[in-house]
Amino acid sequence: MKLKPMVIGLMALGMMSPAVGSDIAQEIQAIKDRLANLESQLSQEKAKNQQLQNKIAQMSEHQTPDVAHDNGIIKSLEVSGAVEVEAFSTHADGGAQLKEDGSDIEAVTLEIGLDAQITDWVGAHILLLHEEGGNADNQDISVDEVSITLANADVTPFFLTLGRIYVPFGNYESNHVSDPLTLEIGETSDTVVQIGFESGAFSGSVYVFNGDTETNDHSQIEQIGANIAWAMESDTMNLALGLDWINQIGESDTLGSALLNANTLEDKIGGVAVYAVLGLGDWQLIGEYVTATESFQANELSHNGSGAKPEAFNLEVAYGMNLFGRDATIALAYQETDEALALSLPESVYLFTVSVDVFDNTSLSFEWRHENEYDSGDVGIGNDGGVNIVNGSSDESDTLTLQLAVEF
């Protein structure tokens, strides 16, 4: 008797089961349809995300998009440059020969650089330059540097450079508008073959070239130079030291144009440059010395009747600070030359400069430059398109310069 209600319940459930099963099947199918739709959307999102990651990877790998050429792909092409415009006013005392009263506005420098990485091993560099230099009629743009470098730091620390470069003789780092006097004596540009290395804190090179000076009436590759440098950097300090040598300092851009009888020099006169650059927090100290190792002959370059041995040094201190919310630098320097009157250089220079980064890559600088000429009675004889006699005057001059410079 007790089984009868159970049997009746089972019979009722059996009668209802076809309808319940149909509803469950429909719900399961609907769930499957929704899952399929979600999987399709997820697949599309994955594809979009992969495309975005590919674009980001390409932008990270190359500074600029790949540039096609006939034989393949240039890995990267970087364009850089600088424009400098200056307004200056000079006041000279007495009969100063090296400076005259006057003022002017000049677009003093235009630089355009191209650096192409052709392969992992091959790079090319071109630098175009225009310098007004007080001659507003000179609008020529020259090829200042052009070189090919074979190097791959992932494989070897050594590199090979061929082309027209500024050889590594002197450092010439400065925070002022004016070039240091060490640069005026030592800077050398020529077409060279250079072999060097960069390994950790050390770097160095040896280079050879055929310069403009001659000692045997023959044009041949006989100029050689070498340099060695060491640099380190930490969170609070950086230090760079360098020693450079060249077997003919008469190849420098300034000396080369000042030498008399440059094609028949009696001997090669070597040159040595040493420098140190120390950074301590917001402070920077610069020291550099450039000198000829011997005196030239009096009929080649003279000072007070004897052969000249030109030399120069630069001592500089700079402090980085925040000025009205902008990065700024204040710098002081003292520079001096010896036996360089024939090069139309002053005996000593004092410099004070304030530079402010007014915008990104744009600086506004104010420089005061005080020059002392060589003493009265000093006489230098060199070449300036002919025999050039430069007399000392013991006079002084002051130049105020305002420069706006943009780098890109």
CA dihedral 274, 276, 277, 280 (to 10 degrees): -170
Q: Please tell me whether residue 27 adopts helix, strand or coil conformation.
A: helix
CA distance 269 to 281: 40
pLDDT at position 94, please?
66
Contacts of 220 (CB under 8 A, 6+ apart): 210
User: Do residues 337 and 346 touch, judged by C-beta distance below 8 A?
Assistant: yes
The CB density around residue 176, as the number of other CB atoms within 10 Å, is 25
pLDDT at position 29, please?
76
Contacts of 133 (CB under 8 A, 6+ apart): 106, 108
pLDDT at position 65, please?
47
DSSP state of 139: -
Superfamily for the 74-407 domain: Porin (2.40.160.10)
User: Do residues 99 and 397 touch, judged by C-beta distance below 8 A?
Assistant: yes
* Buried b / exposed e along 222-248 (16+ C-beta atoms within 10 A): bbbbbbbbeeeeeeeeebbbbebbbbb
Residue type, 391: N
CA distance 132 to 115: 24
CA distance 271 to 341: 18
pLDDT at position 14, please?
44
CA distance 370 to 351: 7
Question: For the chain (length 408 residues), average pLDDT per consecutive 10?
Answer: 44 46 71 73 70 60 48 81 97 74 94 96 97 62 96 97 98 98 98 97 97 82 97 95 98 95 90 98 98 97 97 98 95 98 97 97 98 95 91 94 97
- Read off the tokens for 263: 């094609």
C-alpha closest to that of 111 among 127, 124, 125: 127
Where are the chain's structural domains?
A: 24-61, 74-407
Residue type, 84: E
CA distance 33 to 35: 5
User: Do residues 327 and 310 touch, judged by C-beta distance below 8 A?
Assistant: no
* Buried b / exposed e along 326-337 (16+ C-beta atoms within 10 A): eebbbbebebbb
CA angle 253, 254, 259 (to 5 degrees): 105
DSSP state of 171: -
C-alpha closest to that of 242 among 184, 269, 203: 203
CA distance 272 to 225: 10
H or E segment to which residue 227 belongs: strand 223-233
Residue with tokens 């250089």: 345
CA distance 75 to 121: 11
pLDDT at position 156, please?
97
Contacts of 379 (CB under 8 A, 6+ apart): 302, 303, 304, 305, 341, 389, 390, 391, 392
CA distance 378 to 394: 9
User: Residues, the chain, total?
Assistant: 408
CA distance 327 to 329: 7
pLDDT at position 34, please?
75
CA distances from 340 to 117, 177, 247, 255, 343 (A): 42, 22, 19, 10, 5
pLDDT at position 63, please?
47
User: Do residues 176 and 193 touch, judged by C-beta distance below 8 A?
Assistant: no
Q: DSSP secondary structure string, 182-205?
A: HHHHH--EEEEEEEEEEETTEEEE
